[in-house]
Structures are given as C-alpha cells and as structure tokens.
Structure 1
Amino acid sequence: MAIPLLICDDSMMARKQVARSLPAGWDVDISYATNGMEGLQAIREGKGEMVFLDLTMPDMDGYQVLEAIRDEGHKCIVIVISGDIQPSARARVIHLGALDFIQKPVNPEKLADVLHTYGLL
C-alpha cells in the first residue's frame, strides 16, 4: 500500500526536485503543498503520513507547521528539507519533532540513506 507523502515547499522547482530525488520503486502517493497552511490542511486530510517540509515559506513557516503537528497530535513522520543549514535550525526542528534534516538541493543518495537509516525504505 502506498505511503501518503506530502512535499511542502513554496518553490515549484524545489518540489519537483524533491520528487525526482525519491528512490526508484518507493511506493508513495505524492501530494504537494505550496505553503505551511496548505501543508497542515493536507496532513489533517491524511495526505501526509510522511512529510518533506521546507522551513522558509509564506503564510506559515516550517517551524510553525511542526508546532501545529505536535500540538494537534498528528503522527506523521517529518523530514525537513531546507537551505538553512545553521546548527540552530537543525536543533530546533529536531526539538519540534522532525525526524531528520536534509540540505537543499536534495541529493538522491543522501535522501535514500536517511530513509534507510530510519527503516522507511
């Protein structure tokens, strides 16, 4: 059964690049959100058991999405994908419940390694 996967990023190019970086044959049903508000709504609708989340977005940023996921009790797995590679950003997202943090642009091998590390692939 396909895993509902949500790619939440305000950049269309980034969303496409993440989708192209997914491991071949990984059984996922991909949905997209262009900002945090859309992303949170998609999670509420069950479209994001697994979420690839950008941090810098309009309307609601990735940190706010992580806080809402935690506060609303959603059981989704979140991997942050961001160009903000500051150690403080990484620490903050992990503290807020993200599983891991991957730097943009996504390296397909790095993504596969992270998925394998956590038994998601």
Structure 2
Amino acid sequence: MNMSSEIRPARRKILIADDAFDSRQLLSRLLRQFVDADIHEARNGLLASQEYRMTRPQLVFLDIDMPERDGMEVLKEIRQEQPDAFVVMVTGFSAVEKVQEAIALGVGGFVVKPYSAQRILDVLHKYVAETGDTELLRGD
C-alpha cells in the first residue's frame, strides 16, 4: 500500500472567469509561474457559477463585466454558498460603485487589466497571509 497517496493533500484549484480569451490565457500563464494548482476557466458569468459549484476552487479571479451574469452577480452567488471564499475581482476599468459593492461583499482584492506579474504575486501573497494556505504557491 502506498502511504504517500493517502496523506497527500488534494490539489488546489483556481477559477479564472473572464469573457476575454486573451485575458484568461495571460492570467493563466502568469499564475502557472507562481502556483501549484489546477486552473479552471469560464468565459461568462453563468459558466463561472457552474464551474464554481463543480470545482469549489480555493481562489477565484472574477471579471466584473461579463455576459450572461456579471461578476457582481456571481460574487453574490459565491458569497451565499461560501461566505469566506477568496475572490479577486478583475476589471479593465474601475467603476467606483462596483468597487465599493465588491468591498462590502468582502473581496480579497482587485486586479486591473492589463495584468502584471507583480500584482498577481501580491494577490497570491495576500491569499496565503489571509488563509494560511501555503500549499498553493510553488516551492521553487
């Protein structure tokens, strides 16, 4: 019997929800530099909700403006199911009302496009600091 497979923690999961293919690809590439996790993607808010329920990711990058359901609607759904989920809002612009609403709903952070590796790393360090989940980051 292989003992190591029994005590190995489940692989971490990250969900990227963004209607822009290029943005999803770039964020996915940046994340792979820093994390040891399965990365799931959704191209609209409806698929983001479904993917969230199926995968239960530890970390979610959620675009504010998406078709089907916007990021704020998806954030509210996530909060109903898992109040302490770590969600990072992604936006190409920052509408003050949406930022304030997201803060009121307890988001873990904001990332403004275009992405920078340093900003993604900052958000990942904030995730680790707030959750204590050091398994997410690569040990390179």
Determine whether 1:41 maps to 2:50. yes
Alpha-carbon shift at residue 22 of structure 1 (Å): 1.5
- Mapped to 2, the partners of 1:45 and 1:67 lie a distance apart of 17
Deviates more, 1:2-11 or 1:67-76: 67-76
Given the two structures, how large is their TM-score scaled by the length of structure 1?
0.88
Given the two structures, how large is their TM-score scaled by the length of structure 2?
0.77
Determine whether 1:98 maps to 2:121. no
CA RMSD of aligned residues (A): 1.8
Deviates more, 1:34-43 or 1:23-32: 23-32
Please give the secondary structure, in 2, of the residue aligned with 1:106: coil
- Mapped to 2, the partners of 1:25 and 1:11 lie a distance apart of 22
Determine the structure 1 residue equivalent to 2:68.
59
Please give the secondary structure, in 2, of the residue aligned with 1:39: helix
Please give the secondary structure, in 1, of the residue aligned with 2:55: coil
- Mapped to 2, the partners of 1:95 and 1:68 lie a distance apart of 14
Larger Rg: 2
Determine whether 1:73 maps to 2:82. yes
Determine the structure 2 residue equivalent to 1:110.
119
Whether the 8 Å contact between 1:6 and 1:32 is mirrored in structure 2 is yes
Alpha-carbon shift at residue 85 of structure 1 (Å): 1.7
Q: Deviations over 1:61-86 (max 9, x none)?
A: 00000111112336531111111223
| Residues 49 and 43 (structure 1), Cα distance of their counterparts in 2 relative to 1, 3 Å cut | same
Deviates more, 1:20-29 or 1:33-42: 20-29
Please give the secondary structure, in 2, of the residue aligned with 1:51: strand
